[in-house]
């Protein structure tokens, strides 16, 4: 092949690859419904309950398509699904789509309709944020938008992060910035040994003391084959719990226990300057 032909072939190959990458990125975005513009558009639209559904990286996130669509269909809720990195993996077509095809197809259709179910991921915090005085901070807008936040499934990792106040992704920023007057529900799901680790009890106690409601996991044969406690609570039970506390106007029933106990402002410590005493 002549040098010119080789260069042409390489150039057209590279252009083809770039076009393919662009198209698949666009297709993926269209399928997943990225972007947070709807948050502003949907603000103040009607009196349907609004649920921020955080899905962390437990195996049980394969049930998120069912949970999200049933929240919309049976409770008439608008649902913003917030995925962690692990949650994204578990709710993918390869994993959740294979686990329960019908629920996954309904979920994808709901996302495409952009009416009842929306999807947010970490990139939605950062992509499109350019102008400090104009662009919304997604986790803050979401906090204002939602009536209730439900973490289902809540992985051991996200449970620990929320209890300790870590906020290194969209989900945990939302939970750290959560309005203390609004309900926060957590449905843990993890391996039995993770569940029985002493950290779990500590973290649950911290969160319950703050007014979070824990939807207890059940015992059964888990996806990993172990038998014991740690399975996500049944979807029916999660729906009932959300229904009980997601009506608009139910403010005041939230996680604000620390406020009722009296908010304690940090006071600067008085430091003694010892430099003057040094020779």
Ligand X SMILES: Cc1cc2nc3c(=O)[nH]c(=O)nc-3n(C[C@H](O)[C@H](O)[C@H](O)COP(=O)(O)O)c2cc1C
- Catalog residues that contact ligand X under the rule CB under 6 A: 56-60, 84-87, 155-158, 189-190, 194
Residues contacting residue 2 through CB under 8 Å, at least 6 positions apart: none
Q: Output the smallest distance, CB 20 to ligand X, in A.
A: 29
Residue closer to ligand X by CB (options 78, 84) is 84
Neighbours of 136 (CB within 10 A): 17
> What values do phi and psi take at 208, rounded to 5?
-65, -40
C-alpha to C-alpha distance for 99 and 146, rounded to whole angstroms: 29
> 173 with 82: CB under 8 angstroms?
no
Pick the closer one to ligand X by CB: 142 or 189.
Answer: 189
Q: Which is nearer to ligand X, 53 or 190 (CB)?
A: 190
Q: What is the smallest separation between the CB atom of 144 and ligand X, expressed in angstroms?
A: 23
CA separation for the pair 152, 190 (Å, rounded): 11
Cα gap 73→116, rounded to integer Å: 9
Give least dist CB 191 to ligand X, A.
Answer: 6
Active site residues: 139, 224
- Cβ proximity to ligand X, 57 vs 183, nearer residue: 57
DSSP state of 270: P
Least separation in angstroms between residue 99's CB and ligand X is: 12
Tell me if 100 sits within 8 A of 66, measured CB to CB: yes
**Residue closer to ligand X (CB basis): 146 or 159:** 159
b/e 77-107 (16+ beta carbons within 10 angstroms → b): bbbbbbbbebbbebbbeeebbebeeebbebb
């Amino acid at each position: 092949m002549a040098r010119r032909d080789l260069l042409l072939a390489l150039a057209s190959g590279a252009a083809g690859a770039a076009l393919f990458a662009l198209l698949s990125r666009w297709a993926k975005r269209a399928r997943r419904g990225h972007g947070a513009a709807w948050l502003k558009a949907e603000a103040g639209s009607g009196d349907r309950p609004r649920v921020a559904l955080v899905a962390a990286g437990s195996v049980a996130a394969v049930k998120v398509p069912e949970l999200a669509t049933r929240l919309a269909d049976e409770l008439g809720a608008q649902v913003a699904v917030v995925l962690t990195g692990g949650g994204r993996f578990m709710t993918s077509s390869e994993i959740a789509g294979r686990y329960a095809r019908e629920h996954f197809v309904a979920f994808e259709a709901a996302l495409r309709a952009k009416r009842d179910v929306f999807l947010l991921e970490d990139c939605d915090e950062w992509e499109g944020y350019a102008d400090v005085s104009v662009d919304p901070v997604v986790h803050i807008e979401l906090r204002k938008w939602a009536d209730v936040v439900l973490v289902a499934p809540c992985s051991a990792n996200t449970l620990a992060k929320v209890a300790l106040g870590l906020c290194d992704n969209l989900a945990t920023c939302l939970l750290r910035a959560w309005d203390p007057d609004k309900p926060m529900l957590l449905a843990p799901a993890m391996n039995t040994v993770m569940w029985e680790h002493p950290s779990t009890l500590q973290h649950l106690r911290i969160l319950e003391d703050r007014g979070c409601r824990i939807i207890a996991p059940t015992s059964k044969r888990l996806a990993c084959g172990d038998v014991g406690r740690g399975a996500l609570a049944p979807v029916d039970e999660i729906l009932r719990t959300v229904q009980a506390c997601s009506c608009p106007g139910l403010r005041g029933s939230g996680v604000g226990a620390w406020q009722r106990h009296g908010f304690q402002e940090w006071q600067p410590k008085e430091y003694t300057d010892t430099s003057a005493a040094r020779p």
